[in-house]
């Protein structure tokens, strides 16, 4: 078994998705190993064609460049300057809430502590950029890694629901997590002894970011 070493966390960052990231995104969605995309809870019949996804994403990036401040809802995750994945916010109601997504495109960067650093950084950008009251995470119950990241960050789980939005398979059961703005803090609900946070602690986003 190959054991990957943890990543050096100070080199993990987020920035607006750019044109040169798009081929990596397309490889992830259209050339991942068979069954990978479906296991995440995606309905392949809802996935746009590769050309449509490329065109739509490039259009969003180009349109955003015309704005005085960025309104892009896709942030590339970088490690040592190399793009390894993306955080997106969709659906989004500016001034209220958005649903957060995470995809580490490069499999060699998964399960090495990247998400624990990139989620808080991306949330901070999205809170400020879209003046959000809360960020929701609706994670299919079978996505153990994605659920574990929220638990380790101490983001409260507020229930479960059947989801059906975007490219998600209708009726997918998901755990719902909610991160509130306001105090810019994360209320820890993590019970695991491996959690860096105690359950009663209020965690300032800044503590996680630095
Ligand atoms: C889910 C995802 C975003 C998590 O990011 P990540 O950088 O791999 O997560 P981290 O390395 O920071 O892991 C955080 C915790 O989750 C655990 N974890 C991560 N991936 C896991 C997996 N596949 N199975 C079990 N636990 C996992 C880690 O072990 C760690 O917990 P621990 O410290 O107690 O061991 C990433 O793995 C990914 O993009 N996966 C494929 C796409 C996907 O599933 N996206 C989510 C769709 S809802």
CB 136 within 8 A of CB 169: no
Residue 193 Cβ contacting ligand 1 at under 6 Å: no
Q: What percent of the chain has pLDDT over 70?
A: 83
Tokens of residue 176, six digits? 């719902």
Mean pLDDT to the nearest integer, 6-16 = 85
Tokens of residue 18, six digits? 């750019």
pLDDT at 206 over 90: no
Give the tens place of pLDDT for each residue, 44-94. Answer: 999 999 999 999 999 999 999 999 999 999 999 999 999 999 999 999 999
Mean pLDDT to the nearest integer, 15-34 = 98
pLDDT at 147: 98
pLDDT at 103 over 90: yes
Could you tell me whether strands 134-140 and 97-104 are parallel, antiparallel, or unpaired per DSSP bridges?
Answer: parallel
Mean pLDDT to the nearest integer, 32-47 = 97
Residue 115 Cβ contacting ligand 1 at under 6 Å: yes
Q: What is the largest CA-CA distance in the chain?
A: 49
CA of 146 to the centre of ligand 1 (A): 5
Residue 103 Cβ contacting ligand 1 at under 6 Å: yes
Higher pLDDT, 120 or 203: 120
Residue 74 Cβ contacting ligand 1 at under 6 Å: no
CB 118 within 8 A of CB 77: yes
Give the tens place of pLDDT for each residue, 83-100. Answer: 999 999 999 999 999 999
Place of tokens 């054991």: 3
Give the residue, by CA position, lying nearest to ligand 1 atom 27: 145
Tell me the domains of the chain and their CATH numbers.
Answer: 9-209 (3.40.630.30)
> What single string gives the DSSP state of each residue in 67-104?
SSS----EEEEEETTEEEEEEEEEEEETTTEEEEEEEE
Give the residue, by CA position, lying nearest to ligand 1 atom 24: 145
* Beta carbons within 8 Å of 3's beta carbon, 6+ residues apart: none
Residue 144 Cβ contacting ligand 1 at under 6 Å: yes
Give the tens place of pLDDT for each residue, 116-147. Answer: 999 999 999 999 999 999 999 999 999 999 99
pLDDT at 188: 35
Q: How many other CB atoms are there within 10 angstroms of residue 89's CB atom?
A: 24
Place of tokens 């998400």: 115
Mutate which of 148, 152, 160 for ligand 1? The one with the most ligand atoms within 8 Å of its CB, which is 148
CB 38 within 8 A of CB 32: no
pLDDT at 203: 46
Mutate which of 89, 139, 145, 163 for ligand 1? The one with the most ligand atoms within 8 Å of its CB, which is 145
pLDDT at 6: 75
| 7 pLDDT tier (thresholds 50, 70, 90) | confident
Where residue 111 falls (left for φ over 0; alpha for ψ -120 to 50; beta otherwise) is left
Residue 102 Cβ contacting ligand 1 at under 6 Å: yes
* Alpha helices, H only, the chain: 22-31, 36-39, 50-65, 114-130, 144-153, 205-209
Tokens of residue 13, six digits? 């960052």
pLDDT at 192: 34
pLDDT at 5 over 80: no
- Enter the pTM of the model: 0.88
Residue 29 Cβ contacting ligand 1 at under 6 Å: no
Side-chain-side CA neighbours of residue 188 (13 Å): 19
Minimal CA–CA distance to 191: which of 160, 157, 145, 163?
Answer: 157
């Amino acid at each position: 078994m190959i054991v990957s070493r943890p990543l050096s966390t100070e080199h993990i960052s987020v920035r607006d998705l750019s044109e040169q990231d798009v081929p990596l995104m397309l490889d992830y969605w259209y050339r991942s190993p068979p069954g990978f995309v479906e296991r995440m809870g995606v309905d392949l019949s809802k996935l746009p064609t590769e050309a449509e996804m490329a065109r739509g994403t490039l259009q969003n990036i180009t349109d955003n460049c015309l704005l005085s401040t960025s309104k892009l809802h896709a942030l590339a995750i970088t490690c040592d300057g190399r793009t390894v994945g993306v955080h997106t916010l969709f659906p989004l109601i500016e001034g209220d809430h958005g649903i957060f997504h995470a995809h580490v495109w490069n499999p060699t960067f998964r399960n090495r502590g990247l998400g624990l650093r990139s989620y808080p950084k991306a949330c901070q950008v999205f809170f400020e950029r879209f003046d959000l009251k809360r960020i929701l995470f609706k994670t299919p119950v079978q996505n153990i890694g994605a659920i574990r990241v929220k638990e380790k960050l101490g983001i409260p789980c507020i229930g479960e629901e059947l989801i059906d939005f975007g490219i998600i398979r209708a009726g997918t059961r998901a755990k719902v997590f909610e991160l509130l703005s306001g105090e810019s803090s994360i209320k820890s609900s993590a019970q695991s002894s491996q959690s860096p946070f105690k359950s009663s602690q209020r965690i300032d986003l800044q503590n996680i970011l630095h």
